[in-house]
Amino acid sequence: MAVTSVHGGVLAAAAVLLVRTSSVHAQCVSNVDCLLLGSCEQGVCNCRQGFTGHECGQLDLAPAPPHLGYRNLTASTWGGLPVKVQGKWHMYVSMMVGDCPLGTFNNNSEVVHLVSSSPTDWKGPYRYADTVVGPFAHNAAPRVLADGSVAVWYIGYDGVVNTIACPKGVPPPNDVWPDWSGKQMAVARSPPGAPSGPWNVTWLFKKAELPQDWWHWDCSSTNPSALVAADGTVQMLYRGTMCTHCSGCGHPSNASERLGFATAPSVDGPYAHASVALNLGNASVEDPFYWRSADGSHHLIAHSGVVCHEYTGGSNWCGVIASSADGANWRLATTAAYGPNVTLTNGTTLKLFARQRPQLLFGPTPAGAGVGGSKGQGEPTLLALVNGAELEEGTRSLMQGSSFTLIQPVDR
C-alpha cells in the first residue's frame, strides 16, 4: 500500500495493514515469521535477548522482586517507566490523590516523580520525590533526550479539575467527572539534567485540530508513546477512541480502541496526526509502547482485552506484540506477550486482578555488538516489563482496589 509520510515520519497517513499470523506453530521462512525480534535459522526462530516463543512474540520474564517496583499502600499508582538521568534511576508514574483507588483517575490522577532507593538499581524499590503535573494527568510515558532533559508524555486537562476525597479508600457514590472536552495529550519537559523540573508543558494537538464528530475514531486522543530520533524529530503512537458508545448501531464492539500515528519536528511540536487509524484488523488495542530496532524495524506492545482473551482462553490481562519491517505492513503475534500472574524471587506466585499499561525498559547496547543478528547483537538490552497492576484481593470491582506499578525483569 502506498503511504504518505507526515513531517518525514515513516508511518502512513493512510491505513496500515496488520496481518495476524497463523496459530499453527509452523516453521519460519524468514525473519518476518520471527516478528523481526529474532532470526530464522533452519526453520526455527532464534530470538533476541528478552524475547522467546516459537515466533519471538513472548517476553522472557524472570521472577520479580517482592517489593514489586513501587507499591504504595496509601496511594494507588498506575504504569510508568524508569529512566536513567546522570547515572541515577528515576521513574514517572500516575498517582491517585485523596486516598482514592484507580477508578477515580479521571478526577484524581497526577504524574509524579519517583527515585530508586538504590539510585543505581532500576529494580527499586522506589520512593516518592515530587509531583510533575497535578490532576488531571495520567499515563506517564517518559523519555530522556539527547541533552539530558526528561520529556514525559501524558494525557491531561487544560481546565479546572475538581478532585474527590475517598475516606478509608472508598470513593463517594457520585463521582464528580471533569469536562471531557478538555481532555488532551501533552508533554512536560525538564531542563537538561533536572529530573525534578521545573517543567514546561506543551499541548500536542490544538482543540480545533481534534475531530468534532463523536463517532470519529480519534475524537478522543490519549495514551501517547513517543520516540525521539537523533535529529530531534518525534514519531508517536497514541490511542484513539470515539467519544460515544452504543450497541446495535452498526459499529463493531471494539471500534472504540484504535491506534493513531503522529509526528513532530521536535518534542515541543507542532504535532501532526494521520486522519486514518492504523488498520489492526479485528484487534482492538490500547496503551501502546512503541520502539524501533537497530535494523529500523518497528515494534509495539499493547494491552488488548479482546486479543488477550482469545489467546489465553479467558484472561483479559495480557499484552500482545506487533512488528513491521516498513511501518506499513504489520504482523501480530499469535501468543500473548505476558500473562496475568507474576512469580517473585521468593518463589511466590501472585495472581493479578488486572495487568495493563505495558512499557518496556531498555538498557545500553552491548559493548562490541555488531549490527543485526539475534540474541541482542546491535540491540539495546531489554531489562524489564513495567505494568499498571492490581492484586486479586477479595471480591470487588475492577479499579476499586489498590493499584501499583509492577516492574518484572526479563532473563539476560
At 83-118, the pLDDT tens digits run 999 999 999 999 999 999 888 888 899 999 999 999
With a cut of 90, say whether residue 66 has pLDDT above it.
Answer: yes
Burial class (CB in 10 A: 0-12, 13-18, 19+), 316: middle
Selection from 381, 372, 374 nearest residue 47 by Cα = 374
In this structure, is the dihedral angle defined by the CA atoms of residues 92, 133, 404 and 125, taken in order, positive or negative? positive
Selection from 249, 271, 245, 247 nearest residue 260 by Cα = 271
Selection from 77, 80, 28, 16 nearest residue 57 by Cα = 28
Class of domain 17-409: mainly beta
pLDDT tens profile 119-171: 999 999 999 999 999 999 999 999 999 999 999 999 998 777 888 888 888 88
Q: Please report where in the chains the cell 517518559 appears, as a residue.
A: 142
pLDDT tens profile 13-48: 333 334 434 344 568 999 999 999 999 999 999 999
Selection from 305, 307, 313 nearest residue 355 by Cα = 305
Q: Where are the domains of the chain?
A: 17-409
C-beta neighbour count of 16 within 10 angstroms:
24
Sequence length of the chain is 412
Higher pLDDT pick, 69 / 364: 69
Greatest Cα-to-Cα distance within the chain, rounded to the nearest angstrom: 61
Selection from 60, 40, 61, 62 nearest residue 51 by Cα = 60
With a cut of 70, say whether residue 367 has pLDDT above it.
Answer: no
Burial class (CB in 10 A: 0-12, 13-18, 19+), 355: buried
Query: What percent of the chain stands above pLDDT 70?
Result: 79
Distance CA 359, CA 155 (A): 16
Distance CA 297, CA 329 (A): 11
pLDDT of residue 245: 57
Q: Mention every residue, 6+ apart, whose C-beta is less than 8 A from residue 183.
A: 136, 155, 156, 157, 220, 222
Question: pLDDT band at 298, cuts 50/70/90?
Answer: very high
Selection from 276, 268, 303 nearest residue 288 by Cα = 303
Average pLDDT, the chain: 82
Residue 305 exposure: Cα atoms within 13 Å on the Cβ side: 6
Whole-prediction pTM value? Answer: 0.88
| Average pLDDT value for residue range 245-269 | 71
With a cut of 80, say whether residue 364 has pLDDT above it.
Answer: no
- 71 grid coordinates: 507499591
With a cut of 70, say whether residue 316 has pLDDT above it.
Answer: yes
pLDDT of residue 376: 41
| Side chain identity, residue 215 | W
Q: Picking from 97-111, 305-319, 323-337, which range would have the lowest pLDDT averaged per residue?
A: 305-319
